[in-house]
Amino acid sequence: MSTSAAPGELYRDRAVVLRTYKLRESDRIIVFMSEQHGKVRAVAKGVRRTTSKFGSRLEPMSHVEVLLRRGRDLDIVSQAESVDPLTPLLSGLDRAAQGIAVVEAVDQLALEREPDPVLYRMLVGVLRTIAADPSPLNVAAFFWKVLAAAGLSPMLDACVRCGGDAGDDAMVLVAFDLDEGGALCRSCRSGMPVSEEALEVLRDILGGRLRQALALTASPVTHEVSVLATRAMEHHLERRLRAVSVFERH
């Protein structure tokens, strides 16, 4: 059943604010990732005035229930009520940086008015996880999970080129090639070097042991996994992600 609304029609949805930008003196355009309507752009009129009733609810990373009026190009925000408080995501630089990184990626992944309830639920889930605990692997795990949901799980247990099994003592996986789609052995290696420890963390993230991976403290291995996740997401998007560069500097 179609979830699209006719021009002028009111519709209600839940959504996460991906980004905002100014429009005229007191208005703002809000870019939402909504549960039922995909990525939606809408005008919040008067939201930049100090007297605005819902301006503070429409900041990036906010999870809201919105009432929108369908427009020809841009919808109109009629109401906005908070679903999850934004305050925990702004309680520290790590949380804020991670939250901005995931909403930037979703902004690039989501399609205009194309429903993607799986991506919406994954976004809400990771923002709630970040709010509860700023694990150094929150963003990386989200990226790998999103890529896996799109059918792009990397091969981690055998050489993606020759098929050699990593369980064989003579077969050591030492590289990761984004074009090939997984890990490679010494004989086939191309792409970027990867440690066995990083591959094991990747196996945890994608193999049903996510909680174990998120319990890790910051280390060279978590940094390696994060950098590789960023490269993989950028390879998929065919563009650089600005917000995630903060993780590569630590």
pLDDT tens for residues 17-59? 999 998 878 889 999 999 999 999 999 987 767 556 676 789 9
Higher-confidence residue: 7 or 164? Answer: 164
Write down the pLDDT at residue 97.
Answer: 94
124: left (phi over 0), alpha (psi -120 to 50) or beta: alpha
Write down the pLDDT at residue 171.
Answer: 78
CB atoms under 10 Å from CB of 241, counted, come to 18
Selection from 18, 226, 205 nearest residue 123 by Cα = 18
Q: What is the pLDDT of residues 176-225, one digit of tens each?
A: 999 999 999 999 999 999 999 999 999 999 999 999 999 999 999 999 99
Write down the pLDDT at residue 146.
Answer: 98
Selection from 3, 1, 48, 54 nearest residue 21 by Cα = 48
Higher-confidence residue: 167 or 236? Answer: 236
User: 188-223 burial, b for 16+ CB within 10 Å, e for fewer?
Assistant: bbebeebeeebbbbbebbbeeebeebbeeeeeebbb
With beta carbons less than 8 A apart as the criterion, state whether 187 and 137 touch.
Answer: no
Higher-confidence residue: 165 or 55? Answer: 165
Average pLDDT, the chain: 91
Pairing assessment for the beta strands 27-34 and 38-44 based on DSSP bridges: antiparallel
Supply φ then ψ for residue 34, to 5 degrees. -100, 160
CATH of domain 10-87: 2.40.50.140
Q: What is the mean pLDDT of residues 124-136?
A: 97
Write down the pLDDT at residue 170.
Answer: 59
Q: What is the pLDDT of residues 66-80, one digit of tens each?
A: 999 999 889 999 999
Write down the pLDDT at residue 1.
Answer: 41
Token pair recorded at residue 21: 């930008």
Q: Which residue ranges make up each domain of the chain?
A: 10-87, 135-154+184-248
Write down the pLDDT at residue 51.
Answer: 59
Cα 162 off chain centre by: 32
With beta carbons less than 8 A apart as the criterion, state whether 180 and 190 touch.
Answer: yes
